[in-house]
Chain A
């Protein structure tokens, strides 16, 4: 019995029942004797296997997992900058998450491989099974659990768990009480759980092994390639990564015990999955590995140019038309536009400013700043700044670009941005792009604004009114250009204002 550590202890429960005759053969298949209580140490706590019932007609094995959040936090290594309170108070001690998948893989290793010397024929035969998970975190709701397990031969009962019975207005929690009934090989059943628990959980990830891709391919053998939701499974299984940006901001958000605010990270608007080029490469590689395993099933759809690329191209084209030689990208993010500007020698001086140190670090890495040849490096300046503070470093450029920036500024603070850019920095040209909210009706699944951090999205008329006012106040002229496919009714997805100083 391990010494209870500090913080939360808990009970993550998984039960597997069978009505095969004799039902106690389940003990042979799992390699765990029905009359014993067995304990297995895990890096984040302890797993116990016992049998609440072990009759000839019906036998149930239970895996009960104790999670020690402090051990869990430590197992994530010293490099983790997480000082947020959620490290100490979280659902891991109760919910059937990736940790349960890890414990299950460890405790039932042999069973999962389909080996059973005592009952080899039974291991190879589909058996009547019932699997219960009383608290399964299920992003996507009960319906997604059905979509994932039904094609594998399970009858799925997914009951939503209310968030708090005392506050019915809060609705359901992200957990479901899951019951799977089916006639399935035990090894397959365990592999289904091993892959799909983390896929459904999709929470902050607490471990990420380098051989994750191999593991997925192995555990998915025989069922993943034909699964109609294969794409989603692979993406989610590998897409879970600890977001550094979120951690850093979460720390500031919580401020001691006043856990009142959640700050969204500034980065990763267009790249929600991977934080770095390395991540993206890993993901592409993984997708390919699984595709190969799937034997070339399914055509890749013809991909349309993404909107952010079209936006960047529209900005570059406009800058060239204007004959700008020095350009500053205000709110440069991860440096995509800066990189594109640098690759065109006509832009002799390029600067990128962002308010997020994290974004700048990623930009420096993506632009390979440290290995950049001197001649190119000399054209580039990257620095942290904020558009609500006047800044001499913003002066002296032919053109300034505010690409998808203004909608991240609270409307009462727009006057400050206006003063800093149009009143103080005063470049000859200013390019402003922002979403056209009229176009939002064309996005099928969109509810609300396009990004959680958007403080507003404007119609074409609203943008035009703001831009005309700004231009008049500061001695600029402004013309408007559509970016992206222009819809006859609601206009383009992105609108651009091109300001030129009189």
Chain B
């Protein structure tokens, strides 16, 4: 019976012909076994080409390294009879913080020679085997000192054939414990506070009536008034099976001191030693044994929770090595010390991108803060702060105040400096696959990400505000109706076909799409969005640009206008999808340089062309067709001018600016974008302020011809009066391949898009291709919802940024801009 760790490097050792490959094939999956012969074949086309050996081992080490970094058990099938070969593999295992086991297959020389002779591809004769056996014999005496966790030696063919492999779980692996947990921060001998906290958490003695498990993050000892009392309580809980505990650096040092090792007595160690000196020796001994047995970290709840005293980066979760233990006990330090002589800590949590929640202590802070799904619970109880617990999975913090300052801190407790960036280039760059819960995995091509990076970093608002970007929206299928390119009937038919019973038609405001993120107060903005510059919101365009250089007046007015939402939603913040009016407020430059310019040129040129042609016609020249056409064009140019002018009105500061919210995207704990549109429209109907423009709408039962006809008439009246058009959406979230909405734009509005004379050539324009636009609309919609869901779930900033960035990246795909 051979037992190896579930995640480990298994090194087979044996001469050529000892049966390593056969052994490996019998006990491991083919993908787990990397053989030197296989690698030699890959780099030389000949498995026995010895000149390829160095290259073959480079490749073997590379493959093994990649597998280990991905957490896969790996078996090396090579002779490994020489120390140097084994050493390089042990180093490789250490680099990836996994254990290495050796399995030695020791067969008699004649067996190996005979087996090789039976194989036509091994023509190297007995001498090689004899030399290898000599190396092996020399190795066997000292292989146990190579650095393997265990060396399993199988002697003789029979023993090899009988061997069975079993797997050991890593000590830190307690995935089967699913909680619920009460995770408790650094206690440091504060027994009274610990008892008060446990009571607050609902503990009765050593058990919790709801069967909760306590998890201690270490540093039970030193500095405080009753280290023996704390140890006694925690040891009893652990013994009762209602608590687990990881080691802290103070336990580590106390164990060494108790073992009589020469340690520097500082940082409150003296208090522990004095208090334990008053205890019976048996207790001291059992306490020492307990502390000595503590592991550096635990992986809990199916891998969703990791507890370590000073935190743990993702690459170390579930791994075992000296440096993993050092990280877990002392954290990641830069090697520098600060002005108080304390080590400067490397901000590993800022870079943490793992999915598991990491809960830790070690660094006292005033208030625990979530950083990328990690949280430090040390609130300096012994320094007169609080003793804090985290309820898991509830993510609730519970704390009790210290009775007094038990120990003067070397430096004052402070809130950790917030990271002004929170995002790493690795979060967005390169080809990416973003997991969404609404449409599976969405791919972002590298070049699109590159384009988005430029726009994002040069023009977008602070990413902490940029929690959503609106998806593109496809137009309805092209209408065949005379004089129309788009018409409501196609939109109704499309949704009816998809099985949608009811749709809502919402007026499409002709302005600029805007996302408004509003917090009730700057304090809420700081707590919820991490924005500490005193701002309380942002309003940005569909590429993430701020609407105005100074957003404060607009944000303030909107916060005031949206006050009724705080109670209605039970939230201190809200994200709204809106249209900001007038179009000219943001697009003024574009309207002047493009649309008005076209209108001015046409207005100057066409009447003169008409007069010139009229004069020619008067002379009897045959220009009637050209004249007729030019007259029509002059008329179209006037209509074009009227079309854009309708959406422009002068704005002075905020005077004249209006915001038309039509959807509540998210608020505390809820991605409300998934709510039915009736809810959005009625909730938004609570808003009654001059700056808010209502969104006119009608609900349509698709199985009712009269309901459809009414809505069509509504659309016709609205567009005839100059409206842009409408958006038709399933009344409730549908998902799947159904478009979340399609736009049906008015006849006159489309002149702005397709040009003044588009009505002259509808036949050609009807040949338009919507497929790509519609596919993008679905993918971007899924990404947008994903961003909102992550935001509502309180996920870290980089997780929210990922799908938002992906929307912008997809938008850089070239698509017919007229759609």
A170-B592, A252-B812, A257-B817 known; A37 vs B623 contact (CB < 8 Å): yes
Across the interface, B587 reaches (CB within 8 A) one of A87, A259, A384, A420, namely A259
Contact B819 A88 (CB under 8 A): no
Contact B545 A389 (CB under 8 A): no
Indicate if A241 sits at the interface (CB-CB under 8 A).
Answer: no
Across the interface, B594 reaches (CB within 8 A) one of A37, A90, A93, namely A90
Indicate if B765 sits at the interface (CB-CB under 8 A).
Answer: yes
Instruction: With both chains docked as a complex, state the minimum distance between the C-beta of A411 and any C-beta of chain B, in angstroms.
Output: 10
Contact A37 B616 (CB under 8 A): yes
Number of A-B contacts (CB under 8 A): 279
Indicate if B761 sits at the interface (CB-CB under 8 A).
Answer: yes
Interface flags, B532-544, vs A, CB<8A=1, else 0: 0100000001110
Indicate if A5 sits at the interface (CB-CB under 8 A).
Answer: yes
Interface flags, A1-41, vs B, CB<8A=1, else 0: 10011111111110100000000000000000001110000
Indicate if B755 sits at the interface (CB-CB under 8 A).
Answer: yes
Indicate if A484 sits at the interface (CB-CB under 8 A).
Answer: no
- Provide the bound-state CA to CA distance between A414 and B787, in Å: 25
Across the interface, B625 reaches (CB within 8 A) one of A1, A53, A81, namely A1
Contact B645 A386 (CB under 8 A): no
- Provide the bound-state CA to CA distance between A9 and B428, in Å: 44
Indicate if A89 sits at the interface (CB-CB under 8 A).
Answer: yes
Indicate if A217 sits at the interface (CB-CB under 8 A).
Answer: no
Within 8 A of B (CB), among A69-98: 69, 81, 83-91, 93-95
Instruction: With both chains docked as a complex, state the minimum distance between the C-beta of B418 and any C-beta of chain A, in angstroms.
Output: 10
Interface size, chain B (Cβ < 8 Å): 97
Select the stretch in A158-166, A205-213, A321-329 that faces chain B: A158-166
Across the interface, A13 reaches (CB within 8 A) one of B612, B755, B760, namely B612
Indicate if A263 sits at the interface (CB-CB under 8 A).
Answer: yes
Contact A258 B453 (CB under 8 A): no
Indicate if B815 sits at the interface (CB-CB under 8 A).
Answer: yes
Indicate if A175 sits at the interface (CB-CB under 8 A).
Answer: yes
Interface flags, B618-634, vs A, CB<8A=1, else 0: 01011101100110010
Within 8 A of A (CB), among B593-620: 593-609, 611-616, 619
Within 8 A of A (CB), among B737-764: 745, 752-758, 760-761, 764
Contact B757 A89 (CB under 8 A): no
- Provide the bound-state CA to CA distance between A285 and B106, in Å: 81
| Residues in chain B near residue A161, CB distance under 8 A | 600-601, 603-604
A7-B757, A50-B616, A64-B626 known; A12 vs B598 contact (CB < 8 Å): no
Within 8 A of B (CB), among A390-442: 390-391, 393, 408, 410, 412-413, 415-416, 418-420, 423-424
- Provide the bound-state CA to CA distance between A84 and B815, in Å: 9
Indicate if A385 sits at the interface (CB-CB under 8 A).
Answer: yes
Contact A91 B450 (CB under 8 A): no
A5-B761, A135-B604 known; A266 vs B512 contact (CB < 8 Å): no
Contact A50 B755 (CB under 8 A): no
Indicate if B818 sits at the interface (CB-CB under 8 A).
Answer: yes
Contact A384 B427 (CB under 8 A): no
Indicate if A102 sits at the interface (CB-CB under 8 A).
Answer: no
Instruction: With both chains docked as a complex, state the minimum distance between the C-beta of B657 and any C-beta of chain A, in angstroms.
Output: 14
A89-B753, A91-B597 known; A4 vs B605 contact (CB < 8 Å): no
A135-B604, A254-B817 known; A6 vs B765 contact (CB < 8 Å): yes
Across the interface, A89 reaches (CB within 8 A) one of B450, B473, B598, namely B598
A163-B597, A357-B450 known; A52 vs B612 contact (CB < 8 Å): yes
Instruction: With both chains docked as a complex, state the minimum distance between the C-beta of B56 and any C-beta of chain A, in angstroms.
Output: 27
Contact A164 B645 (CB under 8 A): yes
Task: For the complex of A and B, list the 7 residue pairs with the smallest distance between their C-beta atoms, beginning with the closest.
Answer: A52-B615, A386-B457, A11-B609, A6-B764, A173-B600, A8-B755, A94-B601
Known: A11-B630, A255-B543. 10 other contacts (CB 8 A): A6-B764, A8-B756, A52-B616, A89-B752, A169-B650, A170-B596, A257-B753, A259-B817, A390-B350, A390-B424
Give me the interface of A with B, judged by CB distance under 8 Å.
Answer: 1, 4-13, 15, 35-37, 48, 50-54, 60, 62, 64, 69, 81, 83-91, 93-95, 132, 134-135, 137, 161-164, 166-167, 169-170, 173-175, 177, 248-249, 251-263, 266, 355-357, 384-391, 393, 408, 410, 412-413, 415-416, 418-420, 423-424, 453
